[in-house]
Structure 1
Amino acid sequence: MAQDYPRDEFDEIAEHGGPVGVHRAPRPWWTRILPPLLAFLIAGAVAYGLAMLLWNSGDSSPEPAPTPTVTVSPDEEPSAEPTETSEPSAEPSAEPSPEPTPTPTETEEPEPSILFDAQVHIRNGAGIQGLAGEQQEILVDSGYTNTEANNISGSLIPDGANVVIYGEDRLADTAADIGEKLGIDRVEMGDTPGGAEIEVLLASEPS
């Protein structure tokens, strides 16, 4: 004999129909593909975000400052106008420029060649005692080393005037120096009466 139980919620579900027990109503097809699709979209979004983050971090380094470029404008073209050429003067210069006067060059005279060891005879033809010796002392004091004082006849003195006579060209400077030392202006080259290299013939006392 069936036993009566109080009515509960399951009795109400059974009255509405549908599977009873472990059987469930079938789910729509999109409920099966929605979870993997969402997972794929989320993963793609995450990957895209990481890629953008890495890209932006790589571009964040400061860019080098651009090098300024300098443009040089070409020089202005030369003027095409012809330059005026000065016409030559038709009239010649009135006065020619004076030529410079050449400056005479001074030629140095060679030093006189004095032979202090030349044979020099001082000969007294004036008749004044000791005159030849006095002139000899003057020459010795001047450095002459080969002198002799003696007498001569006044008639052997040319023109009867004081004179210094030398026998060779090499004695010219020495004879001129002797005449200067004794105050005798007349100095000649010729044969000496006594045969000495240089002879001083005294017709009077030298001034």
Structure 2
Amino acid sequence: MSKSHYSYPPDEFDVRGPEDAPVGVHREPRSGWSSVWPFLLVAVVCGGIAVGAVSFLSQDDGPPSTPVAEQSADAGAEGESGDGASEEEPTDGESEATEGEEDPADGESEGEEEEPAGEMPGDASKANLAASVAVFNDSAPGGSAGTAQATLQDEAGFSEVAAGNTTDAEAPQGLGGTYSANTVLYGADRADTATAVAEALGVSPENVIQSDNVTNHPSNAVWVVLTEAVG
């Protein structure tokens, strides 16, 4: 090749060497980037491989661990649900047995005897039939005091029975409107006589009451206050 067609500038390879010395091939000087980019390429490839390997290995490690606080909350919730589930509902046999049991209150009420009515304060057989008895009509139908008077005299055998109204001037004060049922009031030591009067007129034992007013009366031994018909 002639120099007229040689496009490269002359360098050390254009200098002729000794005879029989090898002749080298001309190479253009290499730039700095051409010597650096292979290393950069290797670094990028290796980095990508490393990132891929880490990602792959992290997927095989299993699900991330649950924080301790969340584990405790889950355990508490499971414990509560477990306690509720452990409560068993009564079986059919138990419910039938419960239904078969009688209510104690019902049994007691059915077997309970009625309380006996109050007893009279005295003995009618020992009554003083000569004692003074006064009958007052408070709110009973008209003529009730006369009916009671006749009953005490004709049936019970009392000899001293007077009849009147609580509104009469000679009637004791405080009798009108005081009692809601036929009532027998008696003085001290007159319980037997009061019992005979109450039994003859059908007055309940709880309405046979000892009274200081009757005790202090100069003549009467028993007062009868009528709020309803005698019968």
Q: TM-score, normalised by structure 1?
A: 0.42
Q: TM-score, normalised by structure 2?
A: 0.38
Structure with a larger share of its residues in helix: 2
Structure number with larger C-alpha Rg:
1
